[in-house]
Amino acid sequence: MSGGEAGGVLERPAPGGGADTSSRFVARAATLTAALAAGGALFGLLRDQMIARLFGADGATDAFLVSWTLPEFASTLLIEEAMALVLVPAFSVALARRAAAGSGGTDEDPGPDPVRRLLADSLPRVLLGLAVAAALAALAAPLLVRLLAPGLADPALAVDCTRLTAVTVLTFGIAGYFSAALRAHRSYLAPAAIYIGYNIGIIATALALHARFGVRAAALGVAVGGALMVLLQLPFFLRELPVRGAWADWRARRRTAAAPGGRPYVLGVTVALVVPIALFAISRQAQVLVERFLASSLTPGAISHLNYAQKVSQIPMVLALMIPTVTLPLVARAMAEGDTQGARRRVERDLLLVGIVAVLGAAYVMACAPQLVQLLFQRGAFTAEATAATAEVMRVYALGLLGHTLVGALIRPFFSAARPTWFPLAAMGVGLAITVVAGAVAVRYWGAAGIAAANAAGITATALLLMRGLAGRVVPIDPATVMAGLGRLLLSGLAAGAAGWAVADATGSPLLSAALAALAVPAVFTAGAWALRVPEAVALLSAAQRKLKATP
């Protein structure tokens, strides 16, 4: 990996450097981002282990997890999706205009630098809106708890925790703005590291204060972790972005009480663009609200079982989505320059790459879910009964892992052209309706596992609709080609999961079972993908063989 300017930015591909240079940059950036994301996921597991050990899986943890709905919602809306889908294309367009105009973009340059003007017009508005939203969320905590979990055993505790976590609406929003701006500038180090800081904040605060404040200490840790997300990125943001010049522009326009021409200069950031993106992100996260609403009427601990199962089973998705996260600025830049075929090739390749990671991860989770839960959580207040219930739900969640990953990968190119579109919201609405109806029926017969199955069905339907809609509306991908590749991956994953399950059940040691499955699942999956000639799998294996032969 190559460190870039001041160690925070990877070397950017030189203009005209060709596909090989761009591919190497993407590979290095994706590797760095995935490594840091893996670090964040590892600390997330440590966080969940600590919460399970300190507080178990009972009514108190259910109350905390209801309050955690707010930061989970804010993370999706303000970091992972809505903020990024609005601002990465906007900053990409601004950078393209700066390059076309030959603007240096320095603070001393009095000329109309597009990046500086975008900052001046968007950042103050974002900060004010976030501060108001955070205050309203804290005030509305009792109403939020009643809406989210009407059957909760201890709503007062959930209200206290929700008021503590409400600050993340502000901190996550600032962190999301910083991340989007930095990624558009091809700076990936700080944005990829924010979840490490976030989880360290939760772990340290909960360990230090749990004896005094109980589960409220974990909620306070969420607030501390959100602040660390901002602080980690602030030095990189100040170095990469012309903040001083943008601040001067904003003050000048405040003095004149109007922007040039009487309108703000926000590149592509309009209400018509923001609203469908925000509503899509809200509707996607609403699946979690549906789950917790339905589970609140089950026995205490059901919400916790769903939470732990989802956190572990979705780790492969988090790692897989680092690929389209890195390539979103490239796709947005290609769309801004009219290179739709280049965008198509990039998106088709990304979909197969994320499919490889998601299917392989799902096969492993299916193979040894009980062993994973026992190794990760069964200690302290987390009992063997909680392990069995969580593992059952985790295996069901794994059925929807590919759907979740594809939705995350598809939504990025959908908004890469910085044009308003309501199709993703409609597709997510269909998936959410399936989740609600199927969940309301299935929970009566299968409890938490039925809720997880409804989630998997709903998100898979959304993924299929988005793939068809992307081809006809934004990027002209070939759905048949992509689906054929994904179908072959699923066959490989089915064989790998069966082999891993057999290996995991052959020994009574959870550590040995997980280790053996970690060898068997990738081996069988790789053999299947090679035999079925999955394009990206063959390319990856061929590249690995060339590197091994070249190694002295």
pLDDT at 547 over 70: no
pLDDT of residue 11: 43
CB 495 within 8 A of CB 464: no
- Residue that the structure tokens 């607030």 belong to: 223
User: Would you say 371 and 504 are in contact if contact means Cβ atoms under 8 Å apart?
Assistant: yes
CB burial of residue 80 (10 Å; 0-12, 13-18, 19+): buried
Could you tell me the end-to-end alpha-carbon distance of the chain, in angstroms, rounded to an integer?
20
pLDDT value of position 263: 46
Q: What is the pLDDT of residue 162?
A: 94
| Helix-strand-coil split of the chain, %, nearest 5 | 80, 0, 20
CA–CA dist 250, 230 (Å, integer): 22
Helix extents (H) in 140-270: 141-148, 155-165, 168-184, 189-213, 216-240, 243-256
12's tokens: 């950017």
The three-class DSSP label of residue 324 is helix
Provide the pLDDT for residue 107.
Answer: 44
Contacts 24+ apart (CB under 8 A), 526-535: 527/492, 528/491, 528/492, 528/493, 528/495, 528/496, 529/356, 529/488, 529/489, 529/492, 532/488, 532/491, 532/492, 533/488, 534/352, 534/356, 534/485, 534/488, 534/489, 534/492, 535/352, 535/485
Please tell me the predicted confidence (pLDDT) of residue 130. 93
For the cut 50, the answer to whether the pLDDT of residue 222 exceeds it is yes
CA 62/CA 304 separation, integer angstroms? 6
Q: Nearest CA to 66 among 280, 284, 268, 306?
A: 306
Tokens representing 408 are: 């995350």
Query: How remote is the C-alpha of 514 from its chain's centroid?
Result: 26
Q: What angle do CA 482, 10, 92 make, to 5 degrees?
A: 65
As a whole number, mean pLDDT of residues 155-178 equals: 93
Mean pLDDT of 327-332: 80
Helical packing angle, 168-184 and 322-336, nearest 10°: 60
With contact defined as beta carbons under 8 Å apart, do 348 and 477 qualify? yes
Task: Say which DSSP state 506 is in.
Answer: T
Distances (CA, A) of 361 to 357, 364, 448, 489, 494: 6, 5, 22, 12, 11
The structure's pTM equals: 0.73
Three state DSSP letters for 257-295: CCCHHHCCCCCCCCHHHHHHHHHHHHHHHHHHHHHHHHH
H helices present in 109-148, as ranges = 114-139, 141-148
Most confident by average pLDDT, 2-16, 267-281, 336-350, 425-439: 425-439
**Which of the residue ranges 144-158, 250-264, 283-297, 315-329 would you say has the lowest mean pLDDT?**
250-264
pLDDT in tens, 333-374: 788 777 888 888 889 989 999 999 999 999 999 999 999 999
d(CA 436, CA 450): 11
On whether the CB atoms of residues 229 and 198 are closer than 8 A, the answer is yes
Q: Report, as an integer, the average pLDDT of 406-415.
A: 88
Please tell me the predicted confidence (pLDDT) of residue 259. Answer: 46
Q: Mean pLDDT over residues 118-138, rounded?
A: 90
Phi, psi of 3 (to 5 degrees): -80, 140
